[in-house]
């Protein structure tokens, strides 16, 4: 669901962005059969992970 589809009376972009992030995490958790790793959480949030040495 994009921001354009939301009720036009709602205008708090920060709150909407936070809700979208939580929804992404909840979706990833819902399809997983185990706890997510930090890397999997980062991927669900669209974050890049740095290479570990």
Whether residue 33 is contained in a domain is answered as yes
Domain, as residue range, for 31: 3-44
Whether residue 12 is contained in a domain is answered as yes
What pLDDT, on the 0 to 100 scale, is given for residue 47? 86
pLDDT > 70? residue 38: yes
pLDDT > 60? residue 22: yes
Distances (CA, A) of 43 to 6, 8, 11, 31: 25, 30, 27, 14
The mean pLDDT value for 15-19 works out to: 88
What pLDDT, on the 0 to 100 scale, is given for residue 33? 92
Whether residue 52 is contained in a domain is answered as no
Whether residue 53 is contained in a domain is answered as no
Domain count, the chain: 1
1-10, 18-27, 41-50, range with greatest mean pLDDT = 18-27
Q: Whole-prediction pTM value?
A: 0.60
């Amino acid at each position: 669901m994009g921001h354009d589809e939301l009720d036009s009376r709602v205008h708090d972009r920060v709150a909407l962005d936070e809700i979208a992030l939580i929804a992404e995490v909840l979706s990833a958790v819902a399809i997983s059969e185990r706890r997510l790793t930090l890397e999997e959480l980062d991927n669900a949030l669209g974050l890049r992970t740095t290479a570990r040495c």
